[in-house]
Amino acid sequence: MKNGVVIVGAGHAGVQAAASLRDDGYDRPVILVGDENELPYHKPPLSKTFIKDAEARPQPLRGEAFYTGSAIDFRPGIRIDRIDAGRRSVEISGGGTLAFDHLILATGSRPRTLSLPGSDLSGVLSLRSLADARLIRELSAQSDEVVILGGGFIGLEIAATLRAASRTVTVVEAVDRLLGRAVAPVVASHVRQRLEGTGVRILTGTSIARLEGEIGHVAAAITSSGERLPARMVIVGIGAVPNVELAQAAGLSIANGIRADHQMRTSVPEILAIGDAASYRHWFTGGDVRLESVQNATDQARLAARTITGHADGYSAVPWFWSDIGDMKLQMVGLTAGSDSHVVLGDLPDNKFSIYHYAGDRLLGIESVNRPGDHMLGRKMLGAGFSPTPGIVATGPDGLKAALAAFQEEEPVRAAG
Ligand SMILES: Cc1cc2nc3c(=O)[nH]c(=O)nc-3n(C[C@H](O)[C@H](O)[C@H](O)COP(=O)(O)OP(=O)(O)OC[C@H]3O[C@@H](n4cnc5c(N)ncnc54)[C@H](O)[C@@H]3O)c2cc1C
């Protein structure tokens, strides 16, 4: 046992795993390999601010000194091509191998691609990496008209950001509402109304039949009903697919992601999978999930480090997520699939409200718009295993805080949020 840990992927999950290994006292080599040629950076600002501001700089996850100071052998611009699970080694693209005692796969996900006539024209882009964001920023400076395919979080964040930079923005979504099933219909229509209020055009229930170009560059998107939407830039935001190929070729179990257990071990116990690439049974719902969020990536990374250092308990973090769309800070806590009723706190016209979702009498989660206090309290409630009745929710934050305190006096705290 001297080879240490190799981490493949230097994004949110990979960097946190390296840091947590050191925090947990792991003293063998830690090699962090990433195929981007960058100091690892925060992804969320890319769609919210970076693409509209020519002066904006990437925000590093950790300063450069962190890697040397923590004896983390960070190797940027290197791709791992193959895992030899039997020999416990990985092959570096272009030659060379790295041996490991444990391997952490933090390979993330990539944008789902579009297969339409014209989707290979220049100016048809998607946003995942800093390199993508730089391209979008550059092209946006020369493009008044932008069409965004997909009305999910990333598509709508980009729409709001580019609209704030005075671009003419049209969002085209194939189904009849925004944000898929990620939020309640009332939240989705609120987001739509406010975005439209800023001048973003939104077409739901509409698909794109083809993209037209001029001299190799996109010029328009043509809807299935024949409308021509002029565009110098088309951004495709139709979801992400997990990067599982490396794991799959090594024979690891795959099911909508690299299959991991409650300690993030794959079907080969020395190999762990975390972040956007991993699927697992979530303690909160009992269902199989693959989540794409910073919270999921970093909490799983912390657990993977504990698994390797022998202190693992099991995954018990409360799931949460945020998205900034124009003047709306959306915050979600819990997992609300299966909700059969809800209670609203606050005011939609004020652009400040929260939806408390229930299945029967169990609180499944809370979606908040510009009510960060509700979100933070929700994280505490769900972390403590406290499910307030709709009647208590209706008493507002003070009533909820008092009820949570009374609950915690009686019940042991289940887990920290
Ligand atoms: C534009 C944008 C905005 C977002 N906004 C939010 C937000 O507001 N809130 C939120 O909670 N989440 C947000 N997310 C999602 C969040 O960023 C992801 O869930 C998170 O980055 C997942 O971390 P990860 O480490 O699993 O994957 P990543 O951060 O994608 O890192 C994976 C890394 O592995 C590298 N890699 C893959 N294969 C190999 C290989 N074979 N060899 C070497 N390297 C490899 C990839 O290039 C990448 O650098 C956003 C994502 C994007 C793209």
Q: Say if residue 341's pLDDT is above 90.
A: yes
pLDDT tens digits, residue range 101-128? 999 999 999 999 989 999 999 999 999 9
pLDDT tens digits, residue range 264-322? 999 999 999 999 999 999 988 889 999 999 999 999 999 999 999 998 788 889 999 99
Nearest atom within ligand 1 for CA of residue 14: 25
Same domain? 133 vs 233: yes
Distance 136 CA to ligand 1 centre (A): 18
Q: Say if residue 416's pLDDT is above 90.
A: no
pLDDT at 417: 45
Same domain? 67 vs 120: no
Instruction: Tell whether 390 is covered by a domain.
Output: yes
pLDDT at 331: 98
pLDDT at 182: 85
Q: Is the minimum distance from the CB of 11 to ligand 1 under 6 angstroms?
A: yes
Same domain? 231 vs 258: no
Same domain? 72 vs 24: yes
Tell me what the pLDDT averaged over the chain comes to.
Answer: 95
pLDDT at 412: 59
Same domain? 303 vs 346: no
Q: What is the CATH number of the domain that holds 337?
A: 3.30.390.30
Q: Is the minimum distance from the CB of 31 to ligand 1 under 6 angstroms?
A: no
Same domain? 137 vs 194: yes
Nearest atom within ligand 1 for CA of residue 128: 53
Q: Say if residue 157's pLDDT is above 60.
A: yes
Instruction: Tell whether 50 is covered by a domain.
Output: no
| Total domains, the chain | 3
Q: What is the CATH number of the domain that holds 255?
A: 3.50.50.60
Same domain? 278 vs 343: no
Q: Is the minimum distance from the CB of 292 to ligand 1 under 6 angstroms?
A: yes
Distance 110 CA to ligand 1 centre (A): 8
CB count within 10 Å of CB 185 equals 11
Q: Is the minimum distance from the CB of 13 to ligand 1 under 6 angstroms?
A: yes
Same domain? 245 vs 384: no
pLDDT tens digits, residue range 33-85? 999 999 999 999 999 999 999 999 999 999 999 999 999 999 999 999 999 99
Q: Please, are residues 250 and 243 in contact by the beta-carbon 8 Å criterion?
A: no
pLDDT tens digits, residue range 181-237? 789 999 999 999 999 999 999 999 999 999 999 999 999 999 999 999 999 999 999
Same domain? 338 vs 410: yes
Atom 32 of ligand 1 has which residue's CA nearest to it? 108
Same domain? 137 vs 246: no
Q: Is the minimum distance from the CB of 45 to ligand 1 under 6 angstroms?
A: no
CB neighbours of 359 closer than 8 A, spacing ≥ 6? 338, 339, 340
Q: How far apart are CA 19 and CA 22, in angstroms?
A: 5
Instruction: Tell whether 22 is covered by a domain.
Output: yes
Instruction: Tell whether 315 is covered by a domain.
Output: no
Instruction: Tell whether 282 is covered by a domain.
Output: yes
- Of 185, 216, 238, at which residue does a domain stop? 238
Instruction: Tell whether 320 is covered by a domain.
Output: no
Same domain? 143 vs 204: yes
Instruction: Tell whether 322 is covered by a domain.
Output: no
- Of 207, 222, 238, at which residue does a domain stop? 238
- Which residue range forms the structural domain that includes residue 257? 5-45+59-110+241-308
Q: Please, are residues 383 and 416 in contact by the beta-carbon 8 Å criterion?
A: yes
- Of 278, 308, 338, at which residue does a domain stop? 308
Same domain? 121 vs 103: no
Q: Please, are residues 102 and 108 in contact by the beta-carbon 8 Å criterion?
A: no
Q: How far apart are CA 339 and CA 362, in angstroms?
A: 9
Distance 185 CA to ligand 1 centre (A): 27
Nearest atom within ligand 1 for CA of residue 109: 30
Instruction: Tell whether 200 is covered by a domain.
Output: yes
Q: How far apart are CA 55 and CA 64, in angstroms?
A: 21
